[in-house]
């Protein structure tokens, strides 16, 4: 299955729209072995409540080459559990550099099935990412309207809408229920979700900001299609560090977010 098919299948089979973010912070652990063990424990324990996982590359890169080895192990464990992997790297560049990023993060043992990408160097810079994702049955999630307050500096005034229209144009080249080009639209903008859902009819929407960034599940229903598919709400700190390093608390948080999202769609 493609990434879009796998995520949609898990949503329907397990009745979950939750994307569990894995953002292991070095300062929270005794050492890298402790970070590795806890992150893998959280991954395995929360898997039944997740439609996919989203490792944030920065936290693995911060630990150098050993951190990237942990990332590779996290991706392998997720695949064993049947969990699609969406890497949050927000990569974007021109020409051969974009191609190298695409090759590195959308193909190979350490790569995910999907990657967040930054379109603000121009739409042509998306081409290597989209082509590589399609070749591997993966996906890219293009930044459209991010969850941080400062996004308004560049993403207002119709810019987000222009990016959304480019995503829709790219997806028109594909068949199937959901295409390989998704869109990042922050859960912190519930008032905008209906408009973006209508503007992005065949895109999976990634909705970051659930939990620690202050977004709640109650306002997210407009991002979903009939039947509760088409979007993934992401929680990271609110799951991995729900109560310190208690894995049981991470499980309870993941289950709670899943249930809140389901109630919002009821």
**Which residues are annotated as catalytic?**
90
Instruction: Return the C-alpha torsion angle 240, 244, 249, 250, nearest 10.
Output: 0
Instruction: Return the C-alpha torsion angle 187, 192, 195, 196, nearest 10.
Output: -40
Give, to the nearest 10 degrees, the angle between helix 127-135 and helix 95-106.
30
State the greatest distance between any 2 C-alpha atoms of the chain, in Å, as a whole number: 49
Q: Which residue has the tokens 């890219």?
A: 140
Give dist(CA 102, CA 253) in Å, integer.
Answer: 33
Query: Other C-beta atoms within 10 Å of 143: how many?
Result: 21
Reported as half-sphere exposure (CB side, CA atoms, 13 A), residue 122 has a value of 6
Q: Which residue has the tokens 């390989």?
A: 180
Both tokens assigned to 34: 């402790």
């Amino acid at each position: 299955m493609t990434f879009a098919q796998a995520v949609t299948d898990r949503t329907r089979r397990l009745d979950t729209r939750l994307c569990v973010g894995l953002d292991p912070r070095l300062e929270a652990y005794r050492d890298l072995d402790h970070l590795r063990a806890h992150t893998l424990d959280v991954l395995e324990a929360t898997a039944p409540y997740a439609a996919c996982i989203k490792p944030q590359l920065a936290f693995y890169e911060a630990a150098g080459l050993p951190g990237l080895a942990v990332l590779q192990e996290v991706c392998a464990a997720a695949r064993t559990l049947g969990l699609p992997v969406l890497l949050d790297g927000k990569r974007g560049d021109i020409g051969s550099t974009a191609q190298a990023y695409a090759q590195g993060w959308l193909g190979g043992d350490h790569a995910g099935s999907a990657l967040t990408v930054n379109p603000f160097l121009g739409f042509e810079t998306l081409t290597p990412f989209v082509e590589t994702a399609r070749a591997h049955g993966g996906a890219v999630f293009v930044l459209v309207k991010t969850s941080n307050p400062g996004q308004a500096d560049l993403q207002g005034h119709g810019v987000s809408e222009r990016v959304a229209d480019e995503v829709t144009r790219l997806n028109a080249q594909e068949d199937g229920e959901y295409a390989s080009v998704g869109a990042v639209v922050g859960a912190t903008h519930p008032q905008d979700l209906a408009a973006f859902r209508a503007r992005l009819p065949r895109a999976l929407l990634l909705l970051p900001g659930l939990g620690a960034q202050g977004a709640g599940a109650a306002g997210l229903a407009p991002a979903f299609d009939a039947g509760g598919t088409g979007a993934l709400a992401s929680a990271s700190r609110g799951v991995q560090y729900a109560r310190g390093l208690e894995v049981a608390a991470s499980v309870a948080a993941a289950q709670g977010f899943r249930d809140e999202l389901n109630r919002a769609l009821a």
